[in-house]
Amino acid sequence: MNLLREELSWITPELCLTLFACVALLVDLFVQKGRESVMVGFFSLMGLLATAFFLYRQYGVTPPAQPVFGCMVVDPFSTLFKLFAVGALAFVVLFTMLSRQTRPDGYGEFYFILLCAGLGAFFLASTYNLLLMYLGLELLSIASYILAGYAKGNRRSGEAAMKYVIFGAVASGVMLYGFTLLYGMTGSIDLTVIGPKLRDQFALDHGTIPISVATGLCLAGFAYKISAAPFHFWTPDVYEGAPTPVTTFLAVASKGAGFAALLRFLQAGFIPDRTLGGPEAMMGYSDKLGTLVAVLAALTMTLGNLAALGQTNLKRMLAYSSIAHAGYVLMGVATMNREGFSSVLFYLVVYYFMNLGAFGVVMYYANTTGDEQIDDLKGLGWRSPLVAITMVAFLVALVGLPPTAGFIGKWFLFTAAVKKGFLWLAVVAGINSAISLFYYFRVARAMWLRPEEEAKYATVHASPAFAALLLVLAVGTVWFGVGFDSLLRYCDYSQNLLR
Amino acid sequence: MYFDYFNVFVFLTTGLLFVFANMIVGGLVRPQKPTPEKLSPYECGEDVIGDSWIRFDIRFYTTALIYLIFAVEIAFLFPWALVVREIGMLALVEGFTFVAILLLGLVYVWVKGDLDWVKTYNASVKGGTEVEDRPAADIHGGPLPVELLQAAGVGPTITEQQTKGEKGHS
Amino acid sequence: MSFFGAPVFFLAAALFALGIYGFMTRRNLIVVLMSIELMLNAANLTFLAAARGTAQANEASSYAVFVILVAAAEVAVGLALVLAVFRLKRDSDIDAARDLRG
């Protein structure tokens, strides 16, 4: 019984989130009509706060040696991603409360599904068990399908959700088939067992074709979740069609969880322990896998950036930009070593701040004007300076220029890639960053380099709450560009304890 | 062992032969004078109304979905019921939590009126002054789209005559 | 490695390939959803075939139940969304979904 209590104490954050998801539903049923939005949102925020508190308490405590209940891993790595997901959810809830675009008739179910999606991200980030990984991915995905189609009666939202569900279901089906092949080869669905078993098989030197097929199928699923080429087609459509707070969630939390699972998958299953020395074939295979990911990274960032150049819709442009950023992050994954992985973590945290901010500005703009075109932003700088200034901070960070966190994040990624010997990849990424300057600059130009008289829309002041949110994000974006030491140490720490 | 199965085989063959032989003999012997009344399907003595390939109401779809959810729930509860005594209190609590979460969802849809045959749309109207009693079919866009099923290759092919017949009766 | 020689593995692979083929070639959304079901069932079959005759047979069956659950949830959501789009467009062809492009 004591053991049970101890195990339960390790999954308090998940229990707490589940509880508050249910509470959100109940509150919607019992609260007076017309006040659901505020009350349900408030309870969801309380739940997220409580979850964050429990997560914070887990940080610094020696993690359990064995997975909890045989499948949940509690370590700083998962705690980092869970905090990441909780923070993103909190911003999404706040955005939803402030947004005019999402006015659902059932607030309870919206927040319930949102919190469930967060729960899926939790599971995805903290397991070596392939089945639980699949279930987490599906919980996250299915909730995202519903959220993407939440603007009922809106053709674009419905279409986005439909495309998402079709592509998503196929990708997860492909991934599941890859998992079953791994199970067939090793007789286990636990990655910590699969890794050594694969090492034995490499030692037997049966050839790598079956393993390559299985790995390829699994990678396809992960590539879909992080919207990497060639499985990125759904991204622009879904990001554009979904309600903006939901888009924010997809771009930040969903992608982050996908990367967490990918890192765990590669780390536990396919990176030989250099100190122990694996069979020669496995070393070669691991390097080949790294090269494959590197090629995918180059492809992803190039496709994303080139497509973003021609966009006129702000949301769609940011969608392509998020594809490009998945490419940059994959650069760190391709190194297949600890340094690369810790730079991935760092960049994801940075990405979190700048993308939340950029989508927040899009939401503000769409709310006040009902318009998402880049060219119609003209004169915004003179009319709503605060919003425009923070937007410039986010854009500078997205390009990757100092003194923002975007620069530091990219710096670490580039260094890791070059050290691993992917000089060509770093060059491609550099050229891509230069390309991205053009389309990010177009937004800034529309906002500032046009006279005030040309402004299309009258002055709209951001509500104080919204302005505060944007300021927090902008300060974070700049702060981590200067005082990045503590964050870097935390990312490193999370990475080192990854078994 | 094979011999046992041979017995079964003989039994099956005899049974089938008996049925079909009687049908063939009956067909050869009986008088055949078909009239339209005799050829129409028997519907409790009523006149036949239209084809059985009619458009089903979209509202059945909700019912089907709820059935699906609880059918899958049962798939979990059977293995659970087998081991609940072995594992003890923990399994009991887990099982009830599982069912409780599902029930919560059911209660939510119920209270929101999504299970009503005719949904009343006053839940979302602020203040509740504006009460509209629209049948759900209007909002959901009518009965289950036969075109959808047809395109999928599982639906009926509606000839012009049948469509007319449907209209005439309804 | 002997597992890959078993005929049932080829059956599962064939089912999976059929699912992919259906997804790629069919334009009707309901048929696409059916193809996805085929893929998931191929995965289920592989799970069960891989554990057949070993001590893990029960374990594998329980994985299959989870996959069935997920498949049911996915199809429920998928069908609901297809119907929602159908109501707006009166067309269930994939190519009809073309409001979002660029």
- How much is the pLDDT for B136? 36
Interface with B, mutate which of C65, C74, C88, C93 (most B CBs under 10 A): C65
CB contact under 8 A, A33 and B123: yes
Contact partners for chain B, using 3 or more CB pairs closer than 8 A, are A, C
pLDDT class of A274 with cuts at 50, 70, 90: low
Angstrom distance (rounded) from CA A359 to CA A92: 10
Which of A284-288, A329-333, A467-471, B5-9 has maximum average pLDDT?
Answer: A329-333
pLDDT at A222 over 90: yes
Beta bridge partners of A373: A313
Residues of chain C with pLDDT under 50: 1
Cα nearest neighbour of A113 on chain B = B105
Cα–Cα distance between A183 and C66 in angstroms, integer? 15
Query: Is residue C100 in some structural domain?
Result: no
Q: Write the burial class of residue A299 (CB in 10 Å: 0-12 exposed, 13-18 middle, 19+ buried).
A: middle
Q: What pTM was estimated for this model as a whole?
A: 0.84
State the DSSP H helix or E strand holding residue B126, giving kind and residue range, or none if neither: none
Q: What is the ipTM of this complex?
A: 0.91
List residues of A whose CB lies inside 8 A of any B CB: 4, 18, 22, 25-26, 28-29, 33-34, 105-106, 108-109
**Nearest CB to A170: which of C36, C56, C94?**
C36
Q: Do B126 and A22 touch (CB under 8 A)?
A: no
Number of Cβ atoms within 10 Å of the Cβ of A367: 18
DSSP line for A220-253: HHHHHHTT-TTS-THHHHHHHHS-HHHHHHIIII
Q: Give the range among A111-125, A279-293, A348-362, A398-412 with minimum mean pLDDT.
A: A279-293
pLDDT of A69 higher than 90: no
Predicted local confidence at residue B156, as pLDDT? 46
One-character DSSP codes across A17-67: HHHHHHHHHHHHHHSPTT-HHHHHHHHHHHHHHHHHHHHHHHTTSPPPSSP
Size of the B and C interface in Cβ pairs below 8 Å? 47
Q: Is C47 on the interface with A (CB under 8 A)?
A: yes
Regarding predicted confidence, which is higher, A467 or A302?
Answer: A302
> Chain B partners of C67 at a C-beta cutoff of 8 Å?
none
Nearest to C50 among A142, A149, A180 (CB): A180
pLDDT at B48: 67
**Stretch A179-183: mean pLDDT, rounded?**
91
Q: Which residues of C touch B145 (CB under 8 A)?
A: 83, 86, 90, 92
Q: Where are the alpha helices (DSSP H) in A310-404?
A: 314-334, 338-369, 380-383, 385-399
Q: Which of A163, A273, A288, A315 is nearest to A216 (CA)?
A: A288
Contacts of A among chains (3+ CB pairs under 8 A):
B, C
Domain assignments of chain A as residue spans, ordered by start: 1-270, 284-499
Give the pLDDT of residue A8.
Answer: 84
Q: Chain B closest CA to A142's CA: distance in Å?
A: 15
Structure confidence at residue B10 as a pLDDT band (50, 70, 90):
confident
* Nearest residue to A59 (alpha-carbon basis) of A35, A76, A36: A76
Q: Does C64 touch chain A (CB under 8 A)?
A: no
User: For B89-146, how does the pLDDT look when each residue is reduced to its tens digit (9 = 90+)?
Assistant: 888 998 999 999 989 988 888 888 777 776 655 444 333 333 333 333 333 334 444 5
Residue A153's pLDDT band, with cuts at 50, 70 and 90, is: low
- Count CA atoms within 13 Å of residue C35 on its CB side: 23
Does residue B150 carry a pLDDT above 60? no
Chains touching chain C through at least 3 C-beta pairs below 8 angstroms are A, B
Q: Give the pLDDT of residue A322.
A: 94
What does the pLDDT look like over A318-336, one tens digit per residue? 999 999 999 999 999 998 8
Q: Write out the residue range of the structural domain in which residue C10 sits.
A: 2-93
* Distance linking the first and last C-alpha atoms of chain C: 46
- From the list B59, B137, B70, B64, the residue with the least C-alpha distance to B105 is B70
Structure confidence at residue B30 as a pLDDT band (50, 70, 90): confident
Q: What is the largest CA-CA distance in chain A?
A: 74
B109: CB partners within 8 A, 6+ apart: B115
Q: What is the mean pLDDT of chain A?
A: 85
Per-residue pLDDT band at A355 (split at 50, 70, 90)? very high
**C9 in contact with chain A, both atoms CB, cutoff 8 A:** yes
DSSP A454: G
pLDDT of residue B131: 34
The rounded percent of chain A whose pLDDT value lies above 90 is 37
- Between residues B57 and A4, the one the model is more confident about: A4
pLDDT tens readout for residues A441-475: 888 888 888 777 666 666 666 678 888 888 888 88
C93 bridge partner residues: C28
C16 domain residue, yes or no:
yes
- Please report which confidence band the pLDDT of residue A383 belongs to, taking 50, 70 and 90 as the band edges: confident
- Chain A touched by C31 (CB under 8 Å): no
Does the distance separating the beta carbons of B107 and A105 come in below 8 Å? no
Q: What confidence score (pLDDT) does residue A217 get? A: 92
pLDDT, position A277: 57
Q: What is the mean pLDDT of residues A350-368?
A: 88
The predicted pLDDT at position A339 comes to 84
Residue A283: phi and psi, rounded to 5, are -55, -50
> For residue range A414-429, what is the model confidence (pLDDT) as tens digits?
999 999 889 999 999 9
Calpha distance A189→B161 (Å, rounded): 58
Q: Looking at residue C46, which CATH number applies to its domain?
A: 1.10.287.3510
Q: Report pLDDT digits (tens) over A35-45.
A: 667 788 888 99
Whether residues A4 and B101 touch (CB distance < 8 A) is answered with no
> Per-residue pLDDT for A140 more than 80?
yes
- Total domains present in chain C: 1
- DSSP 8-state secondary structure symbol assigned to residue A313: B
pLDDT of B12 over the 80 cut: yes
- Residue C85 at interface with chain A, using a CB cutoff of 8 Å: yes
Does residue A148 carry a pLDDT above 80?
A: yes
Query: Across all residues in chain B, what is the average pLDDT?
Result: 70
pLDDT for res C101 = 57
What is the Rg, in whole angstroms, of the alpha carbon atoms belonging to chain C?
17
